[in-house]
A and B are shown apart, each in its own frame.
Chain A
Amino acid sequence: MSIASLWRTRQQRYSLEGEICPECRQAIFPPRDVCPHCSEAAGPLHTMSGRGEVYSYTKMFNVPNGFLAQRPYTMALVKLEEGPMVTAQLTDISDEEVEIGMPVEMVTRKLREEGDSGEIVYGYKFRPVFAAGD
């Protein structure tokens, strides 16, 4: 991702800013011009809570350039409590505890050491949520 693209998407990557469709009330992430649910013009900005659960996960051993230092890592599809699904890494986990349905919350972490222009890229990852007292 270029610096311009990172700057444009900063509200999405740092605070999961999406939208609520004014027509069908469905949550949308990231923001779109057209609602994917009802095809009407998509609506006002809405920041997601950052809470969700693991829909699926994979531990990746072959990784692309820019991610070699973190290898291996666990990717997940996280179903946000508002409805949208996001693709993100899991963090602060041990291998054994990852399972489908596990509650997780968003945190901001370093995504890759070096972007296309040498910058460090930050963005959302998800970590397990533990019940109080755990």
Chain B
Amino acid sequence: MPVGEHWDLSVRHIAYHAIAAALEEAGADQVDALFVGNMLSGALLSQEHLGTLIADFCGFRNVETAKIESACSSGASALRVGHMAVASGMHDVAVVCGVEKMTDTTGENTTAGLATAADAEYESAHGVTFVGLNALIMQRYMYEFDVPLDGFAGFSINAHRNGAHNANAMFRKPISLDTYLNAPLIATPINIMDSSPVCDGAAAAVLVASERVGDYVTGHHPGAVQILASASANDTIALHDRRDPLFLEAAYVSSQKAYVESGVTPADISFFELHDAFTIMSALSLEATGYARRGEGWHLAADDAIGPNGRIPISTMGGLKSRGHPVGATGMYQIVETVQQLRGEAGEGQIANASIGMAQNIGGSGATIVTHILGS
């Protein structure tokens, strides 16, 4: 399902679109559970109970349903619930869908809705937004590590260059350094080109226990991809309570858990779909997952170590910046794109010899971080 402004479609339509595509590709003829990752349906659409709303619209009856919410990491959290359901043997076939509809209301309402991921009484009540929180991190980071104004430009340029090849991306046009440098500020030092867009989207996957793939999916199963590791960790809800506001401890912990679970090291990973909601988050994610020392993550962008042929390709299908950030759906877009890369179906954006991919989804200002490692 392409990310964009889908004024002609409701949340149930875009979710169905993604789920139907996933079921058709898998050739699955049975569904036992539907887990929906979503953040804002209550705040922006006055609609909760999404698990059953969407199952109903898909024609599923007598299946387990639930909406899973962990702010912007809702998509990956839902995948993790689906993973636990089939890995435990509790369900044979689980469908996971991340979905978000952000353009049905005004920009100020959406901004206020996103701010509910922060501490309502001690952050949002003072007028800080999500952009604002990321700006506070970026300002301090630039001060402590002496980063120039264009130090983060490479993250945005890389994302747009890669997103140009992704049919599901919202912005499919490369940008220049000049475009980045002249972009309007939204919260100093963050400009529009540091920030991912508000949009609608839905992405889905079908999950079956590895050893039983052949029993349940008849379609594309040579293309089935394995979840090698799934891990999640939390930190304080408020940025101001972090032990070190410039270090994503939850990203460190969840990626370390995932490395141990999969037996994979950062050097084994072919590409990394990180949570580039803001360029500063790319730098902090690379530092927390073992690709750069503290304060040096931005060097990887400046040196283009993050490009398709670089040491660690990131945002290979455009990332949140260019593909778009429909918040509760983002984690599942990361997974679908990781699967496309591992199957060799990423078209012009294909990473050569991609065999292991990592996806990391961040909720709030670093408060919930979910890491998945997938292998072909």
Expressed in whole angstroms, the Cα–Cα distance for A65 and B44 within the complex equals 13
- Please name all residues of chain B whose beta carbon is closer than 8 Å to the beta carbon of A86 when the two chains form the complex: 122, 240
Q: Which of A56-77 contact B (CB under 8 A)?
A: 56-68, 70, 73, 75-77
B123 contacts the other chain (Cβ, under 8 Å)?
yes
The CA of A110 and the CA of B182, in the complex, are separated in Å by 34
Query: B111 — which chain A residues lie within 8 A by C-beta?
Result: 62-65
Q: Which residue of B has the minimal Cβ distance to A70?
A: B127
The answer, yes or no, to whether A94 is at the interface (CB within 8 Å) is no
| Chain B residue nearest in CB terms to A67 | B127
Q: Is B90 an interface residue (CB 8 A)?
A: no
Closest-by-CB residue of B relative to A13 is B125
Asked if B223 is at the interface of the complex by the 8 Å CB criterion, the answer is: no
> How near does chain A come to B117, taking the closest CB pair, in angstroms?
12
The contact string, 1 if C-beta is below 8 Å from chain B, for chain A 97-129, is 000100000000001100000000101000000
Assess the A1–B120 pair: CB atoms within 8 A: yes
Q: Is the CB of B122 within 8 A of A111?
A: no
Given A62-B131, A87-B238, are A121 and B125 also a contact pair (CB < 8 Å)? yes
Evaluate whether A100 and B143 lie within 8 angstroms (CB atoms) in the complex, with A64-B111, A75-B132, A123-B125 already known: yes
Question: Are A66 and B240 in contact (CB-based, < 8 A)?
Answer: no
- Are A60 and B127 CB-contacts (below 8 A) given A65-B108, A86-B240? yes
Q: Which of A56, A84, A123 lies at the interface centre, i.e. has the most chain B CB atoms within 10 A of its CB?
A: A56
Distance in angstroms between the alpha carbons of A66 and B108 in the assembled complex: 9
Check if B139 sits within 8 Å of A57, measured CB to CB: yes
Q: Shortest distance in angstroms between B375's beta carbon and chain A's nearest beta carbon?
A: 37
Nearest CB of chain B from residue A27's CB, rounded to whole Å: 12
Tell me if A88 counts as interface (CB < 8 A to partner B).
yes
Tell whether A66 pairs with B122 under 8 Å between CB atoms, given A85-B240, A89-B127. no
Instruction: Find B187's partner among A58, A70, A100 (CB 8 Å cutoff).
Output: A58
Please tell me if B109 contacts chain A, counting CB pairs below 8 Å: yes
Size class of B's contact patch? 35 or more
Q: Any chain A CB within 8 A of the CB of B112?
A: yes
Query: Separation in Å of the A66 CB from the closest CB of chain B?
Result: 7
B187 touches A60 (CB 8 A): yes
* B288 interface hit (Cβ, 8 Å): no
* Cβ-based interface call for B135 (8 A): yes
- Please indicate the chain B residues that have their CB under 8 angstroms from the CB of A61 in the complex: 184-187
B204-246 vs A, Cβ < 8 Å mask (1 yes, 0 no) = 0000000000000000000000000000000010111100010
Task: Let me know if B188 and A73 touch, CB within 8 A.
Answer: no
**Distance between B285 CB and nearest chain A CB, rounded to angstroms:** 19
List A residues 19-59 near B (Cβ within 8 Å). Answer: 30, 36, 55-59
Which of the listed residues A64, A84, A86 has the most CB atoms from chain B within 10 Å of its own CB?
A: A64
Quick check: is A15 within 8 A (CB to CB) of the other chain? Answer: no
Expressed in whole angstroms, the Cα–Cα distance for A1 and B125 within the complex equals 7
Q: Do B135 and A60 have beta carbons less than 8 Å apart?
A: yes
B140 to chain A: closest residue by CB: A56
By a CB distance below 8 angstroms, the chain A residues around B139 are 56-58, 100
Which residues on the B side are within 8 Å of A73 (C-beta)? Answer: 127
Contacts of A100 in B (CB 8 A): 139-140, 143
Interchain CB contact (< 8 A) of A36 among B107, B112, B241: B241
| CB atoms of A65 and B112 under 8 A apart | yes
User: Complex Cα distance A55/B238, Å?
Assistant: 15
Cβ–Cβ contact A66 & B112, under 8 A? yes
Cα–Cα, bound, A29→B304 (Å): 42
Q: Which residues of A lie under 8 Å from residue B132 when comparing CB positions?
A: 58, 60, 75
Contact A60 B241 (CB under 8 A): no
9 contacts between A and B (CB under 8 A): A5-B121, A58-B188, A58-B189, A60-B128, A63-B127, A77-B245, A84-B241, A87-B128, A121-B125
Question: Top 4 A-B pairs ranked by shortest CB distance?
Answer: A58-B135, A56-B140, A64-B112, A85-B240
